[in-house]
């Protein structure tokens, strides 16, 4: 019975994810699902992206957290519309929650909608939300073993951001090992080294984002 229940939950999620994908396609929106551990710098990265690309790209954000709307407030302060989803304990967002959230932001006017998933490198990778691409963020302070601990998540990434690269000289972090381990499970996804705090390396990320929009239009 448990297996059947899980199958029904996943089937319902896939159905809603397809509806979301159709909505994004109809309105020419690029949707990007952002996955990482807590504290990797997802919100900081998105906030800087919004500010730096304000005159080029119209961005909105769907925020997922177990509790609080702190991250949504930070995104609004950066200049983008945002809606907060509180999962009340769930370790990931569902496609149904994204569907409901879309009515709370001016989705049709946006070029990109980021979905900042709940901080977790396991559960979010198993649930499609209707996105066009997945971004996995790994921060230097987390350590260099995450790609081998969570290979499935990195295997499904369309791009990997190694964030807080400015801290690498002060932390035992083997960058070559990380890149090798990521490429072992995903040789196609570009890997960008950056610091959302200092701005180092962000241009590569911005170029990738702009390319995603050009591919759709």
DSSP assignment of 106-148 equals TGGG-SEEEEE--S-SSGGGG---S-SEEEEEEEGGG-TTHHH
pLDDT of residue 215: 62
Share of the chain above pLDDT 90, in %: 84
Share the mean pLDDT of the chain.
Answer: 92
Q: What does the alpha-carbon distance between residue 25 and residue 51 come to, in Å, rounded to a whole number?
A: 25
Q: What does the alpha-carbon distance between residue 159 and residue 168 come to, in Å, rounded to a whole number?
A: 20
Q: Region 197-210: what's the mean pLDDT?
A: 97
Q: Are 1 and 101 in contact (CB under 8 A)?
A: no
Which pair of structure tokens corresponds to residue 20? 């979301």
Share of the chain above pLDDT 70, in %: 93
Which pair of structure tokens corresponds to residue 145? 């073993």
Using alpha carbons only, give the angle 180, 204, 54 rounded to the nearest 5 degrees. 140
What DSSP character marks residue 150?
S
Class of domain 2-216: alpha beta
What pTM does this model have? 0.92
Per-residue pLDDT of 180-197, as tens digits, reads 999 999 999 999 999 999
The two counts, helices (H) then strands (E), for the chain are 8, 7
What DSSP character marks residue 166?
G
pLDDT of residue 216: 58
pLDDT of residue 89: 65
pLDDT of residue 3: 42
Per-residue pLDDT of 138-183, as tens digits, reads 999 999 999 999 999 999 999 999 999 999 999 999 999 999 999 9
Chain Cα centroid distance, residue 116: 5
pLDDT above 90: residue 28: yes
Question: 3-class DSSP state for residue 53?
Answer: coil
Which pair of structure tokens corresponds to residue 178? 């990380």
Per-residue pLDDT of 52-93, as tens digits, reads 999 999 999 999 987 778 899 999 999 999 999 987 767 889
pLDDT of residue 9: 56
pLDDT above 60: residue 4: no
Burial degree of 69 (CB within 10 A; 0-12, 13-18, 19+)? middle
């Amino acid at each position: 019975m448990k297996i059947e229940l899980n199958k029904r939950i996943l089937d319902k999620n896939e159905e809603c994810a397809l509806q979301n994908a159709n909505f994004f396609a109809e309105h020419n929106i690029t949707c990007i699902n952002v996955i990482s551990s807590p504290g990797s710098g997802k919100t900081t990265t998105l906030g800087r992206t919004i500010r730096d690309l304000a005159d080029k790209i119209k961005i909105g954000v769907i925020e997922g957290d177990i509790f609080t709307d702190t991250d949504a407030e930070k995104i609004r302060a950066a200049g983008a519309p945002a809606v907060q989803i509180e999962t009340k304990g769930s370790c990931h967002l569902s496609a149904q929650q994204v569907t409901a959230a879309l009515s709370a932001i001016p989705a049709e006017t946006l070029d990109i909608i980021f979905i900042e998933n709940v901080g977790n490198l396991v559960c979010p990778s198993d649930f499609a939300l209707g996105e066009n691409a997945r971004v996995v963020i790994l921060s230097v302070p987390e350590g260099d073993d995450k790609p081998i601990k969570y290979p499935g998540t990195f295997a499904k990434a369309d791009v990997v951001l190694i964030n807080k690269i400015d801290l690498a000289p002060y932390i035992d972090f083997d960058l070559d090992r990380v890149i090798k381990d990521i490429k072992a499970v995903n040789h196609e996804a570009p890997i960008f080294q950056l610091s959302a705090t200092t701005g180092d390396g962000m241009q590569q990320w911005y170029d990738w984002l702009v390319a995603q929009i050009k591919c759709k239009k």
